[in-house]
Amino acid sequence: MSEPPPSAVRDRLGERLVRAIASAQTHADGTDSLMQEAGRATGARVVVLWILDERARALRWAGDWGADADAQAFRDACRRITFAPGVGIVGEALEADDPVWKEVAAIPRATPALAAGLRAVVAAPLGGPDGPLGVLECFTASAEEPAPAVLEDLRLVTSQLAGYLGRLRIEERLQASEERSSSIVGAALDCIVAMDHRGRVLDFNPAAEATFGYARDAVVGEVLADLIIPPELRDAHHRSLSRYLETGEPTILNRRLELTAMRADGSTFPVELTVTRLGTRRPPTFAGFIRDLTANREAEVEHERLLREAMLSRAVAEAAQERSEAAQGATEAAQRRLMLLARAGERLIAGGDYERTMQEVAELAVPAVADWCAITVHEGRGVRRRVGTAPSGAPEPEAPEADRITVPLRTPRRAIGELALAMTGSGRRLEADDRAMAESLAARCALAVENGRLFAERSHIADTLQRSLLPARLPEVPGLDAAARYRAAGEHNLVGGDFYDFFRSGDGVWTAILGDVTGKGPEAAALTALTRHTLRAGALRESSPMANLQLLNEALLAARAHDASAARFATVVYTRICRSNGRVVVTVSTGGHMPPVVLRADGAIEYVPISGTLLGALEDVVLDEEEIELAPGDLMLLYTDGVTEARPREPRFGEQLLEQVLRDHLGAPAARVVEALEHAVVAAQEGEPRDDIALIAVRAID
Amino acid sequence: MPDPDRHRRIAVNESRFREINDRLADGLGSLRHPPEHLDFVCECAHLECRAKVSLTAAEYERVRADPMLFAIVDGHEVPDTEDVVARADRFTTVRKHRDVEDIVTATDPRAT
């Protein structure tokens, strides 16, 4: 039987190699089978497989095959060593890209190799498409160099082994990659759902299982839309998928979308969805990355609820502030009106010149309640006169009707004027309460105007009456310098109780009288008239001052007899002044009045030592007469208690003041003396005198 | 007897509350998840009022579309200054009288 040709042998070897690979149950089985075939092809007793560790750049033992057990020690020695590329026969074979033959005596493992009966080694590289994978060593008991056919067979074996190992390596890498992907998908917190072009589920990770309530095995192969998309959104989903498949036009791919998803129990919840296409293969598959936004949405809703509450609280606070300010404005306006009425009331009650009062009232109203105020009074025959304007002198503004209030000043009998308020430029508005206030203010003004007018009328009457009871002026008396002064106290509309008179009562004889009757007003006027006329009449018939005072007492008593309702008393100092032969002799009598005081030319002050009974009280009065002489420069002063009682709580004040003024005016004309004394008394009382003041000064001159 | 000053004062007050509510509506309009009923301040003239009225966004817009209309709590109307034109469960709509039309129109924040 002839030897088969080498090609046929090699074909059989190839078939064996393919079968060995195909029948291998494990990767190790396949490798072992191929190493065994290498041993058979080369007659090797031991075959060792070295695999290149690319990261370490080292060749490491990866397996071996032995024909018998004697080589075990050598095989164990091989396990413990590594080769760098280019080092040792293994490293050389890796770089040589072709089998390398050596006797084992030439390699570092010679000792264990020889001990195992091995004599030579051929090392063949395992070339892969991306570079060498390793080296296969075949140790033989023969020291002969292998024949070319043997090397060719070895190349065939190593080629198959390299292919096999390459596939194993790819499978390992794929498996590792899949394991990594699976781990990532499985551990992902987000839901990951894979879907094919028909919309059927390819994968459903644990997070999706937990979120949607489906088991993976139950949903793989099912239509995804029917599982997790609410019915009302499914049509849109189907349309979107169809459009993409038809046109390749992505509408939702790789975009982050917020949608509503559906759980297995039919409940819906918000999700964020990102869909991406997996790879480029056709038909396409898709992965959906779904994040449950329920917690986010709840937080967002809660955040907005708090925001809403904050906005509402702010609005409520603003409204409350507006209402508060409106209420405060109304309160302040009411307070301003009340304050105006109170202040105007005080001013109106104070009385005095009503025109000045009206001006003050108008000024009180502006700007408190209005921008402009005017008070006008009617003066009869259609004449109207403005008595108050604020701002002072401001013309009547052209304000619209809504910004103007005019109310009458009305007395019980008639309208006597108008009060007008207007808003001009302040932006304020006149309100109903302002009208009520204006009416109240006008009523008070009307009363004040009416009272002012009555007061003026009565003052005029009283003044006229008062002047009728006093001499219009003192007569010129040769050798005498005489002057008088009169000042009524209190209301100007009442006739005072003090009086004086100075008249010629005979040839070279003059009478000066000064007194004080009880009461004020009409009663005092009547009593003064009685007193004055009685004494005037008496002085013409009777020269004795004392007798004339006696006559007056009787007249007063007689008058009281006619009208017992009122007491009629009077105090009077009566002086009869005779000038003859250059001398001035004065006869003095007093009925209850202070005696005259004399300022001598040398400055000495003397009170005439005379006294007498009040007149009109008793039938029997005690009266007296005293005669004094006035030398040139001497001055006699008659005065009422308005002087001496300037300060009632200081009994001596009035007399001291009187004496001081006299001393200060030594040698002064009579008119200056009485004027100075009146001023001093008024000033001493810090205001209006409480009592009438009547003064007569008679100064003897050369 | 009509008090025009009081009518005008009331109209001014209510217009201010309308401005406040409109600002509030603007803010609420920016929310992503507005509730169905939104709370607003009562637009009545009572100075002591602190009440709120609840309207849907559409109801509020219907009231605001007419410057003479105001939304108030039922019973807060002031009959001599305004007429009730609608009563709902949650609020009452009043229309101001003509005498203050100039004020409520001029102060309408939506008037241009």
Query: Which chain A residues contact residue B8 at CB under 8 A?
Result: 429
Q: What is the pLDDT of residue A1?
A: 47
Q: Give the whole-angstrom CA distance, residue B33 versus residue A375.
A: 65
Q: Which pTM was predicted?
A: 0.46
Q: Give the whole-angstrom CA distance, residue A172 versus residue A184.
A: 18
Nearest CA in chain A to B27: A311
B24 interfacial to chain A (CB closer than 8 Å): yes
A297 interfacial to chain B (CB closer than 8 Å): yes
CA distance A406 to chain B (A): 16
A338 interfacial to chain B (CB closer than 8 Å): no
pLDDT band at B1 (very low <50, low <70, confident <90, very high): very low
Q: CB–CB of A326 and B9 under 8 A? A: yes
* SS3 category, A194: strand
Reading the block at residue A690, the tokens are 């409480």
**What are the CA-CA distances from residue A690 to residues A490, A496, A646, A672 (Å)?**
7, 11, 8, 23
Interface probe with B: pick from A301, A318, A331, A421, most Cβ of B within 10 Å: A318
Query: Which chain B residues contact residue A294 at CB under 8 A?
Result: none
- Widest CA span in chain B: 50
Do the beta carbons of residue B73 and residue B49 sit within 8 Å? yes
CA distance B19 to chain A (A): 10
Q: How many residues does chain B have?
A: 112
Phi, psi (deg, nearest 5) at residue A557:
-65, -35
A430 interfacial to chain B (CB closer than 8 Å): yes
Q: Give the whole-angstrom CA distance, residue A8 versus residue A332.
A: 126
Closest Cβ–Cβ partner in B9, B20, B42 for A318: B20
Closest Cβ–Cβ partner in B35, B40, B50 for A320: B50
Reading the block at residue A57, the tokens are 């750049």
* SS3 category, A486: strand
B35 interfacial to chain A (CB closer than 8 Å): yes
Work out the burial of residue B108: count CB atoms within 10 Å of its CB; fewer than 13 is exposed, 13-18 middle, 19 or more buried. middle
The DSSP call for residue A134 is E
B2 interfacial to chain A (CB closer than 8 Å): no
Q: What is the pLDDT of residue A185?
A: 75
3-state helix, strand, coil in chain B (%, to 5): 40, 20, 40
Q: What is the pLDDT of residue A393?
A: 86
Q: What contacts 24+ positions apart, CB below 8 Å, involve A196-201?
A: A196/A283, A196/A285, A196/A286, A197/A241, A197/A245, A197/A283, A197/A284, A197/A285, A198/A223, A199/A223, A199/A224, A199/A225, A199/A237, A199/A238, A199/A241, A200/A224, A201/A227
Side chain identity at residue A535, one-letter code:
L
B60 interfacial to chain A (CB closer than 8 Å): no
A432 interfacial to chain B (CB closer than 8 Å): yes
Q: What is the pLDDT of residue A668?
A: 95
Q: CB–CB of A312 and B39 under 8 A? A: yes
Closest Cβ–Cβ partner in A315, A323, A402 for B47: A323
Quickly count: other Cβ atoms within 10 Å of residue B106's Cβ: 10
Question: Please, which residues have CB within 8 angstroms of residue A100's CB and are 6 or more apart in sequence?
Answer: A89, A92, A93, A122, A123, A124
A173 interfacial to chain B (CB closer than 8 Å): no
pLDDT band at B8 (very low <50, low <70, confident <90, very high): confident
3-state helix, strand, coil in chain A (%, to 5): 45, 25, 30
Side chain identity at residue A610, one-letter code:
I
Closest Cβ–Cβ partner in A300, A324, A402 for B4: A402
Number of helical (H) and strand (E) elements in chain A, helices listed first: 18, 25
Do the beta carbons of residue A588 and residue A626 sit within 8 Å? yes
Query: Which chain B residues contact residue A311 at CB under 8 A?
Result: 24, 27-28
B52 interfacial to chain A (CB closer than 8 Å): yes
Packed helices A653-664 and A670-684: angle between N→C axes, nearest 10 degrees: 140
Query: Which chain B residues contact residue A323 at CB under 8 A?
Result: 13, 46-49
Query: Which chain B residues contact residue A319 at CB under 8 A?
Result: 16-17, 20, 41-42, 50
Q: CB–CB of B47 and A316 under 8 A? A: no
Side chain identity at residue B22, one-letter code:
D
B107 interfacial to chain A (CB closer than 8 Å): no
Closest Cβ–Cβ partner in A319, A326, A430 for B41: A319
CA distance A311 to chain B (A): 6
B28 interfacial to chain A (CB closer than 8 Å): yes
Alpha carbon of residue A48 to chain centroid: 93
Q: What is the pLDDT of residue A2?
A: 57
A-B CB pairs within 8 A amount to: 73
B111: Cα within 13 Å, side-chain hemisphere? 14
Strand order in the sheet with B82-87: B69-72, B92-96, B82-87
B13 interfacial to chain A (CB closer than 8 Å): yes
Closest Cβ–Cβ partner in B9, B23, B49 for A431: B9
pLDDT for B78-110, tens place per residue?
Answer: 888 899 999 989 999 999 998 888 888 988 888
Nearest CA in chain A to B28: A308
- Give this complex's ipTM: 0.92
Do the beta carbons of residue A366 and residue A373 sit within 8 Å? yes
Question: Please, which residues have CB within 8 angstroms of residue A98's CB and are 6 or more apart in sequence?
Answer: A124, A125
- Widest CA span in chain A: 217
CA distance B71 to chain A (A): 14
B44: Cα within 13 Å, side-chain hemisphere? 22
Q: Give the whole-angstrom CA distance, residue A401 versus residue B105.
A: 22
B9 interfacial to chain A (CB closer than 8 Å): yes
Query: Which chain B residues contact residue A304 at CB under 8 A?
Result: 31-34
Secondary structure of A255-276 as H, E, C letters: CEEEEEEECCCCCEEEEEEEEE
Nearest CA in chain B to A318: B20
Reading the block at residue A12, the tokens are 């059989």
Q: CB–CB of A431 and B13 under 8 A? A: no
Closest Cβ–Cβ partner in B24, B28, B33 for A300: B33
pLDDT at B50 over 60: yes
Work out the burial of residue A480: count CB atoms within 10 Å of its CB; fewer than 13 is exposed, 13-18 middle, 19 or more buried. buried
Nearest CA in chain A to B40: A312
Mean pLDDT, consecutive 10-residue stretches, chain A (702 aa), reads 64 83 82 91 94 91 87 90 92 89 92 93 90 93 91 90 87 82 78 93 93 95 95 91 87 87 95 88 89 89 90 91 84 85 83 85 89 91 90 86 87 89 81 85 88 76 71 87 86 70 92 89 81 91 94 90 74 94 93 96 96 92 95 96 83 89 95 94 80 92 84
Q: Give the whole-angstrom CA distance, residue B32 versus residue A299.
A: 12
E strand or H helix that includes residue A137: strand A131-140
Q: Give the whole-angstrom CA distance, residue A580 versus residue A132.
A: 176
Q: Give the whole-angstrom CA distance, residue B11 versus residue A428.
A: 15
Query: Which chain A residues contact residue B57 at CB under 8 A?
Result: none
Closest Cβ–Cβ partner in B17, B24, B46 for A322: B17
Q: Give the whole-angstrom CA distance, residue A192 versus residue A445.
A: 93
pLDDT at B3 over 60: no
Helix ranges restricted to H, A627-692:
641-644, 653-664, 670-684
